[in-house]
Amino acid sequence: MTSNSIKPFRWYLKKTARGGMCLATLPSKRLLLSNNQSNYSLLRVLTYHRFGNVYRDPFCIELKEFQAQMDWIARQNLAVSLTDIESFLAGKKDLPRNAVLVSVDDGYRSLYLNALPILKQYSIPAVAFITTSNIDSSSPNNYSKNNETIEPYLTWKEVEALAEAGIAIGSHALTHRSLGKMSLDEAYQEAVMSRESIEKNLGINVTAFAYPFGTFPDFNNSTTLILKESGYKLAFTSQHGAIVPKLDPLTLPRIKVEGGEPMWMFRLLVYGGLDEWRLIDRMLWRLQQSP
Ligand SMILES: [Zn+2]
């Protein structure tokens, strides 16, 4: 929601941890890459949020970094679409090994202003998960609140332009609250009303959902059932990991791309260097739960 620049110590600690994990898993991933006996592909869904030149904000990626990443993905021929992933999960289509789908959460305006021209330049398909009650809700330009710069959300006109440019539009719920922490009735409303809102405004079919926050406590068996009943075919969490055929299509993992990381880390992340990050996430979550 804000340009939440974090303190230098925490920033460098996390960067060291992410980089360290990438490097530590490199030898095993190399073995995996050279092992052609494996008969299925692995693919990953990358999560982005905002695009701009904000210093030390893990949710905002600098444009020159994003450009370099998309350039590399295009040259490696790794970009796939949401529809490709649906066919892949159903076992109907194989995809290049280490293929990636670009996903962008929350529906901030920089997706339209800054990321779309780059996605178009390299013909990279992507999916935008929007929180529908935020659309058309803010002033059109960046504004200041409590000394922080706040980026506005998209308007429906801009979401329409994204859809027309070939970006798939999915739901990120109605109000960006944890589905796992509300009543089942409320969760059902969040799922159905957001889908209907997108369908009504854009005249398209919505089949994909991304859980707000998407951490361990934000989804469970009941929420996946609710999404299924609400007409969704795919749902994405923020748990790190690769996608393989036959995985539960309603709790799919993704990999978060953070700002301020070098290209070598991005390449390793695409090859699986951060697949195991979910173990760290779970450990941190357990630590927070303990008294
Ligand atoms: Zn979100």
Model's pTM, two decimal places? 0.91
Q: How far is the CA of 105 from the centre of ligand 1 (A)?
A: 5
Query: pLDDT tens digits, residue range 179-205?
Result: 999 999 999 999 999 999 999 999 999
Question: What's the one-letter identity of residue 121?
Answer: Q
Residue 291 vs residue 228, higher pLDDT: 228
CA distances 20 to 17, 122, 187, 276, Å, are: 5, 30, 38, 12
- Structure confidence at residue 5 (pLDDT): 66
Q: How far is the CA of 32 from the centre of ligand 1 (A)?
A: 32
Q: How far is the CA of 69 from the centre of ligand 1 (A)?
A: 22
d(CA 67, CA 148): 26
d(CA 187, CA 173): 9
Q: How would DSSP label each residue in the chain?
A: -B-----HHHHHHHHHHHHHHHHHHHHHHHHHHH-TT--S--EEEEEE-EES--TT-TTEE-HHHHHHHHHHHHHHT-B--HHHHHHHHTTS----TTEEEEEEEETBHHIIIIIHHHHHHTT--EEEEE-GGGTT-S-SS-EEETTEEEPPBPPHHHHHHHHHTT-EEEE--SS---GGGS-HHHHHHHHHHHHHHHHHHH-----EEE-SS-SGGG--HHHHHHHHHTT-SEEE-S----B-TTS-TTSB--EE--SS--HHHHHHHHTTTTTTHHHHHHHHHHHHH--
With 70 as the cut, is the pLDDT of residue 277 above it? yes
270: Cβ contacts below 8 Å, ≥ 6 apart? 44, 46, 73, 78, 98, 100
Which of 13-22, 37-46, 55-64 is predicted least confidently? 37-46
Q: How far is the CA of 211 from the centre of ligand 1 (A)?
A: 8
Q: How far is the CA of 267 from the centre of ligand 1 (A)?
A: 24
Q: How far is the CA of 176 from the centre of ligand 1 (A)?
A: 6
Residue 25 vs residue 78, higher pLDDT: 78
- Structure confidence at residue 37 (pLDDT): 46
Q: How would DSSP label each residue in 252-283?
A: B--EE--SS--HHHHHHHHTTTTTTHHHHHHH
Q: How far is the CA of 120 from the centre of ligand 1 (A)?
A: 23
Q: Are 137 and 150 in contact (CB under 8 A)?
A: no
d(CA 272, CA 265): 10
With 80 as the cut, is the pLDDT of residue 235 above it? yes
Q: How far is the CA of 172 from the centre of ligand 1 (A)?
A: 7
pLDDT band at 36 (very low <50, low <70, confident <90, very high): very low
- Structure confidence at residue 70 (pLDDT): 98
Burial class (CB in 10 A: 0-12, 13-18, 19+), 177: middle
| Architecture of the domain defined by 8-289 | Alpha-Beta Barrel (3.20)
What's the chain's average pLDDT? 89
pLDDT band at 103 (very low <50, low <70, confident <90, very high): very high
d(CA 136, CA 134): 6
Question: What's the one-letter identity of residue 158?
Answer: E
d(CA 10, CA 30): 30
Q: How far is the CA of 269 from the centre of ligand 1 (A)?
A: 21
Percent of the chain with pLDDT over 70: 91
- For residues 271-284, average pLDDT: 81
